[in-house]
Copies of this chain bind each other. A is one copy, B any other.
Amino acid sequence: MFFASDNWAGAHPKISAALSAHATGFASPYGTSDIDHAVEERFKEIFERDLAVFFVATGTAANSLSLATVSRIGGVAFMHREAHMIEDECGAPEFLTGGARLRPVDGSLGRMTAENLERAISHFEPEAVHAGRPMAVSVTQATEVGTVYGLDDIETIAAVARKRNLPIHMDGARFANALIALDTTPAEMTWKRGIDIVSFGGTKNGCWCAEAVVLFDTSKAHEFGFLRKRSAQLFSKSRFIGAQFDAYFADDLWLETARHSNAMSARLADAIEASAKARLAWRPQVNEVFAILDSDMIRKATEAGAAFYPWNPPSWFAGPIAENETMCRFVTSYATTSEEVDRFGALIA
């Protein structure tokens, strides 16, 4: 009953096998090998367009360098108040962009609204050196709270940015999970809705370490090469990332693992909805479930070996939480089994 986080899982057997398969022979380093190129072509097929893709070490690196590539002196990036970049990256985006500021935008269920974004950006208009100036908008898809932006939501938000020529970034640490939730294609969820840059994460969905920055504007690729190296994010034996992505995409493994982890969360949510001792904080769309449990239940579940974390209720959460209750987060992964979920369900039944 490991629901602590999707990064508590290891690597899918097919990912491991791919690493072993690519371990022999000589290949040119620093992103120039055959497998690197093949994976880039694969990304183009998946996104149905020309693009440039850069492997980096972590999701934080992908987000930070995505912003860095569109950074401006005095620049301000807009994102949801509880975005990972604001809450969980230790100032890396600010540092690696050379001083950009992140401006929180409100919205319920982890999604900023276009209206709030409009208001937040217009605070910096007309442009003046004192306040600084807007430089980018970032949406997290799926969000930090297990929900997703609808395709129309993305389009509406992108429109707010687009009318100021602001680039739009998508933090896709759980990209595949969002894709499954929306039953759509990578192209539809990104550039067809106005997204310019994607932090494309594979780690949480079954890889060891497979994070990439996808640039739809290939004119930024040359510059990005320097940016990645200067940020100490250029792997020498980059084929070890390439091999993971190769297996990740083969036979739609990535969709399969995401579909599975989403389904496990839905199953878990159902169990919680059916429980008298726990209740959903809100209905999940991807592989994170937020629920409210009382302290007895938490103790009992923990003693039974369930692993999950308490969670600070988001600013927009209006529901009542009693004195002896705590909001908790449960995350499922490719490695979560329905037996585990059912065992937890039985526990809280």
What residues of chain A have their CB less than 8 Å away from a CB belonging to chain B? Answer: 2, 4-5, 7-13, 15-17, 19-20, 22-30, 56-61, 64-65, 72-76, 87-92, 94-96, 98-102, 123, 129-133, 203-204, 208-209, 223, 225-237, 239-240, 307, 312, 335
Contacts and interface: CB of A to CB of B under 8 A. Distances in A.
Contact of A99 (B91, B223, B236): B91
A66 B320 CA distance: 42
A60 B90 contact: no
Contact of A237 (B7, B13, B72, B87): B7
Contacts of A7: 29-30, 236-237
A14 B92 CA distance: 35
A95 B99 contact: yes
Contacts of A30: 7, 129
Contacts of A19: 11, 16, 19-20, 208
Contacts of A98: 95, 98-99
B87 A231 contact: no
Copies of this protein in the complex: 4
Contacts of A25: 10
A8 B23 contact: no
Contact of A26 (B8, B56, B88): B8
A234 B4 contact: no
B99 A231 contact: no
Given A26-B2, A230-B74, A240 B129 contact: no
A75 B227 CA distance: 11
B74 A91 contact: yes
24 contacts: A2-B26, A7-B29, A7-B237, A8-B27, A8-B28, A8-B29, A10-B26, A11-B237, A13-B20, A19-B19, A23-B208, A24-B335, A26-B335, A72-B226, A73-B226, A89-B130, A90-B230, A94-B94, A98-B99, A101-B102, A123-B312, A129-B226, A203-B237, A209-B237
A132 B90 contact: yes
Given A2-B26, A208-B240, 9 more contacts: A4-B26, A11-B240, A17-B20, A58-B234, A58-B235, A58-B236, A74-B229, A89-B232, A132-B226
A22 B96 CA distance: 32
Contacts of A10: 22-27, 237, 239-240
A56 B235 CA distance: 11
A60 B234 contact: yes
